[in-house]
């Protein structure tokens, strides 16, 4: 397939390319006013566009929500006045320092309060994919509490919610989805976090990759089930039928939350994607199929929560040539670093 090239200097030319590719200039919103689809802005690479160019590229593509993984000051400056809603990440390496309330207050004042309301912060993700066995796990809850308290002091706690991004690996059982439950080793870690999120009326953030589930169990997971391409129900769970692995995973997490006493908690899918190269089933066609089907699907909700749009962040905007160790980690981008689209996508 031949790909069109978009330069960084000619905005009109980029718009023409986007229209030619069929990429929508507007993004559907869910019932809370949040965009249903956002895109993660990872920067573990040495060949990416400037922070200002990246933000402009989001605007040109009609992408109304972004996730970043640290308070990159140039990105925050570029986001001012754009109305792009933001998940701001607190890196795992910073968590221990934020167990000090004064340090947390300084962090919030420097990276959030000083940019508000020009930057539309939506969530603060305190830690990403911290596992119960990780050394950082002992710091997550206290860091979350201190960041929240700093937002309370600034009277921003109603507008900006504090959470953390988790993996489905915290589940001890996920099949069928109604049997979803957090594992014994995860419960002492995640249960206090769930209680905190309940008390602050905040969602849980979850990174869901059907790609990794598929390559980890190709004997029992069909590729079509992972790519939203199954022609009919694959998993019958009582009265609920599942045609794709994404819904099954998300509803297993909802079942685990229910069993933890949080039946009304929302889940925001803070990452989901499919690589286009570097490993098993990592092809341009599979990546395009996954992303487009995911975009089309999330407005419909899951079998457990039908009709309720799923706030979802695609991973990621650009390929990142310094990620690893798996080769696939460098190929999750919707675009190449030179802004060349890897395949046509419609954000509808």
Is 311 annotated in the active site?
no
Inter-residue contact 58 to 35 (CB < 8 Å) = no
Profile the chain (348 residues) by mean pLDDT over runs of 10 residues. 31 34 45 76 98 97 96 98 98 98 98 98 98 98 98 98 98 97 98 98 98 97 98 98 98 98 98 98 98 96 96 98 97 97 88
Alpha-carbon distances, residue 129 vs 45, 134, 155, 184, 271 (angstroms): 20, 10, 28, 18, 11
Exactly one of 64, 167, 266, 271 is catalytic; name it: 271
Distance CA 227, CA 59 (A): 28
- Phi/psi of residue 173, nearest 5 degrees: -145, 140
Architecture of domain 33-335: Alpha-Beta Barrel (3.20)
Inter-residue contact 342 to 292 (CB < 8 Å) = no
> In the prediction, which pLDDT does 30 show?
53
What's the burial of 239, exposed, middle or buried (CB within 10 Å: 0-12/13-18/19+)?
exposed
Is 136 annotated in the active site?
no
Spans of all domains in the chain: 33-335
- Phi/psi of residue 270, nearest 5 degrees: -85, -10
Distance, CA of 154 to chain centre: 26
Task: With CA atoms as reference, report the closest residue to 276 among 228, 207, 341.
Answer: 341
Dihedral sign from CA coordinates of 246, 200, 40, 191:
negative
Read off the pTM. 0.91
> In the prediction, which pLDDT does 26 show?
42
Inter-residue contact 200 to 162 (CB < 8 Å) = yes
Task: With CA atoms as reference, report the closest residue to 123 among 7, 40, 5.
Answer: 40
């Amino acid at each position: 397939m031949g790909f069109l090239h978009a330069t960084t200097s000619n905005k009109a030319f980029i718009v023409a390319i986007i229209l030619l590719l069929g990429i929508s200039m507007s993004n559907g919103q869910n019932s809370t006013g949040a965009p249903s689809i956002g895109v993660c802005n990872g920067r573990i690479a040495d060949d990416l566009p400037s922070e200002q160019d990246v933000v402009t590229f989001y605007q040109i593509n009609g992408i109304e929500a972004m996730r970043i993984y640290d308070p990159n000051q140039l990105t925050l400056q570029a986001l001012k006045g754009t109305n792009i809603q933001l998940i701001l990440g607190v890196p795992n390496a910073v968590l221990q320092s934020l167990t000090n309330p004064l340090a947390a207050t300084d962090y919030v004042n420097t990276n959030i309060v000083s940019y508000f309301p020009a930057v539309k912060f939506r969530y603060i993700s305190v830690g990403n994919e911290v596992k119960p066995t990780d050394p950082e796990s002992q710091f997550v809850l206290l860091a979350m509490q201190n960041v929240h308290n700093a937002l309370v002091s600034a009277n921003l706690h109603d507008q900006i919610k504090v959470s953390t991004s988790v993996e489905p690996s915290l589940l001890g059982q996920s099949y069928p989805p109604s049997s979803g439950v957090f594992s014994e080793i995860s419960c002492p870690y995640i249960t206090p976090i769930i209680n905190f999120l309940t008390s602050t009326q905040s969602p849980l953030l979850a990174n869901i990759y059907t790609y990794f589930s598929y390559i980890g169990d190709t004997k029992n997971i069909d590729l079509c089930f992972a790519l939203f391409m199954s022609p009919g129900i694959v998993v019958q769970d009582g009265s609920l039928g599942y045609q794709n692995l994404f819904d099954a995973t998300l509803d297993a997490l909802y079942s685990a939350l229910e069993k933890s006493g949080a039946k009304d908690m929302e889940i925001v899918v803070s990452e989901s994607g499919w690589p286009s190269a570097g490993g098993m089933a990592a092809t341009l066609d599979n990546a395009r199929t996954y992303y487009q089907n995911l975009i089309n699907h999330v407005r419909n909700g899951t079998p457990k929560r039908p009709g309720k749009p799923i706030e979802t962040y695609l991973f990621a905007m650009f390929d990142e040539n310094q990620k690893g160790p798996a080769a696939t980690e460098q190929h999750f981008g919707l675009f190449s670093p030179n802004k060349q689209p890897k395949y046509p996508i419609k954000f509808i």
